[in-house]
Structure 1
Amino acid sequence: MRIEFTKMQGLGNDFIIIDNRQYALTFQQLQILAKKVCTRRFSVGSDGLMALENSNDSTDFRMRFFNADGSVGEMCGNGARCIARYAYINKIAGKKMTFQTTAGIVSGEIINDRLVGVLLNLPEFIELRRIVSLHQNEYPISYIELGSPGLPHVVIEHKGLKDTDDTSLTELAIALRYHEAFPKGANINFYEIGKDSAVTVRTYERGVEDFTLACGTGSASVALALFLREELSNNIIRINVPGGSLDVAIGMSDGKVEILQLIGDTNMIAEGIILDEDLKL
């Protein structure tokens, strides 16, 4: 089967995008496709697969997101920014658009050429201060779920993060990702606030099962936790990840989060045809 695809990345978070209106692949077929073609070296390789489909309401389209292991992702912030630009370039939507995700409806906007912003699903659950016990140590964390069903994020401070290698964080990241305190697992976001109030973030992503160069919803969860804990006062927070920098804008009304916007660069990498001879759909 020949499948046309576009490869995009947002801050090093890379994705394979297909227009599933052409192929009508089933949910199970998309899972098989994601697990196969996202595997680096053996296929195209990416952090995830996104399938654009017709929506069943007044939104412009539907985004289905699959992690590299074939599991379903409720939502992906950088993925949403990439697919928004894809939809605009391919005349599926205008500069301002709305689209369905598993976690709810998302609004996107082409701000300036490659710069794309998305209004993320608002948090359905916020626990700003929790203690997690692990290996006879206690770790203070924040726990946030974005959208419904909620995309789970753990926010944990790590002093000296800028100078810390991922490998030295992996054991702790995995232990927290599978901790019994988080029944459906969690994305683990380590952070450190810099002198300029910019925040360094590293995310161990559930589904990818490794550190990635960027995680949009993870970055937004870190920014939101720090803002609500009053550790940062600016409602536009600069987040620095290994893949680059992005901004998170936060809007409040009557003590509730009303706006959570992710703004950053997107990059069209390639267009091609999947010819993987080992792919069985």
Structure 2
Amino acid sequence: MRFDFIKCHGSGNDFPLIDARGIVLDDAIWAGVARALADRRGPVGGDGLLLLTDGDKTQAFGMRMFNSDGSEAETCLNGLRCVARAGFEALGLERAEVHLKTSVAHAELDRPLAAGVHTVRETAGPADLDVTHWPLSAPLTGLDAHEIVEQVIPMLPTARRFTAVAMPNPHLVSFDEVVDEDELVAVGTVCEAAPDWLPNRANVSFVTMRGDGIFVRTFERGVGLTDSCGSAMAASVFAACLTGRREFGVEMRVFNRGGLVLGQAESDGMVRLSGNATWEWAGSAEVDAARGIAGDLIVTRHYNDEIAAWAAVIETAAWIQAEPSA
């Protein structure tokens, strides 16, 4: 099968994006397409595969996101901005309700983060604090609560305290003065293994306070250590407000290795992110979904102006070089 796609990124979280409206394929085939196109060892590479899908009577269009391992995520907020831009351009819209796997999110065009940077505002939530919905089995962890806020989770190889937030995919968020990446990988690897107490896995983020904002580093479910994860940034924004480190209703800058977004959490659990949706290049490739292999890549266009606009954002962000780490 040959697929046309756009290689895009949101805050450094990069994906091939396929306009899948009108394309009917089994989920197993889409999973194979994701493994093929998102494979970093292949001709395209990415943190996952984005699909722009058909809408219905209440949503103009939808989004599906498959991780690089072929698993499907409930959402991907960096990816949502890219899909929203594609949907806006295809349908001539400036805002829409977007159908996700288990929820609906609002997206609309926003003022540019910087000159030449296509920017989309997305609103997701409400954040869900009930870990039995994940499920995270309290009896097996030694915890006796439906909510985990600033608590040690005994089954994890760390004494860090975590706050559990679903956006709607599950996140464990820990705040500290530095980001210890070895520790983050160790914790993320345990969660990625789908232990009995956490059968659907979870994303893990270590967060540091940065001026009037926050810095987020994430081990993403189905991906591993990633430069950026939109839903992790949303969960971290909400957790920062929930634990009193930042204020509800106040916009903050949210930094990551891939760039930045603007974030704001409300006390009702809704979280708004405003960030880039950048096209890098367009092309097509042959895909063997059964084997998860892509080949015969043809690049038809480069979006050099957009690439340069985002590079300017990165170059002026001195906080990237100043990132505290252990």
* Same-fold call, TM cutoff 0.5: yes
Task: Indicate the SS of the match to 1:80.
Answer: helix
CA distance in 2, matches of 1:184, 1:85: 30
User: 1:167 Cα shift?
Assistant: 4.4
Query: What amino acid maps onto 2:154 in structure 1?
Result: S
CA distance in 1, matches of 2:152, 2:27: 38
Distance 1:137 1:274, change over 3 A: closer
| 1:58-115: CA deviation from partner (whole Å, max 9, x where unpaired) | 210121111111001100010001111111222x251111110012111101113511
- 1:112 maps onto 2:111 in alignment: yes
CA distance in 1, matches of 2:8, 2:212: 30
Higher helix share: 2
Identity %: 26
Aligned to 1:247: 262
1:130-169 mapped onto 2 (5 Å cutoff): 130-134=151-155, 137-147=158-168, 151-161=169-179, 164=180, 166-167=181-182, 169=184
Distance 1:111 1:180, change over 3 A: same
TM-score when normalising by structure 1: 0.87
Aligned to 1:13: 13
Task: Indicate the SS of the match to 1:40.
Answer: coil
Aligned to 2:276: 265
- Alpha-carbon contact 2:237-2:263 (below 8 Å) kept: yes
1:1-281 mapped onto 2 (5 Å cutoff): 1-90=1-90, 92-112=91-111, 114-125=118-129, 127=147, 128-134=149-155, 137-147=158-168, 151-161=169-179, 164=180, 166-167=181-182, 169-178=184-193, 180-194=196-210, 196-208=211-223, 210-233=224-247, 235-252=250-267, 256-257=268-269, 259-276=270-287, 278-280=288-290
User: 1:43 Cα shift?
Assistant: 3.3
* Bigger mean CA deviation after superposition, 43-52 or 174-183: 174-183
What RMSD in Å do the two structures reach over aligned CA positions? 2.1
- Unmatched segments (≥5 aa) in structure 2: 113-117, 131-146, 292-326
Higher strand share: 1
CA distance in 1, matches of 2:203, 2:36: 22
| 1:175-216: CA deviation from partner (whole Å, max 9, x where unpaired) | 24445543311000101113x1321110000011x1111111
CA distance in 2, matches of 1:233, 1:135: 29
CA distance in 1, matches of 2:198, 2:41: 32
Query: What amino acid maps onto 1:67 in structure 2?
Result: N
Query: What amino acid maps onto 1:131 in structure 2?
Result: V
| 1:12-57: CA deviation from partner (whole Å, max 9, x where unpaired) | 1011111112532222211111111110122311111111221233
Number of residues of Structure 1 aligned to a counterpart in Structure 2:
267
CA distance in 2, matches of 1:19, 1:143: 34
- Alpha-carbon contact 1:60-1:93 (below 8 Å) kept: no
CA distance in 1, matches of 2:252, 2:62: 29
User: 1:156 Cα shift?
Assistant: 1.1
| 1:196-240: CA deviation from partner (whole Å, max 9, x where unpaired) | 1321110000011x1111111101111101101111126212111
Aligned to 2:115: none
* Bigger mean CA deviation after superposition, 58-67 or 123-132: 123-132
CA distance in 2, matches of 1:202, 1:130: 19
CA distance in 1, matches of 2:156, 2:62: 42
Query: What amino acid maps onto 1:139 in structure 2?
Result: R
CA distance in 1, matches of 2:192, 2:239: 18
Distance 1:251 1:280, change over 3 A: same
Distance 1:183 1:28, change over 3 A: closer
- Unmatched segments (≥5 aa) in structure 1: none
Distance 1:188 1:3, change over 3 A: same
Distance 1:158 1:132, change over 3 A: same
Distance 1:102 1:8, change over 3 A: same
Distance 1:136 1:73, change over 3 A: closer
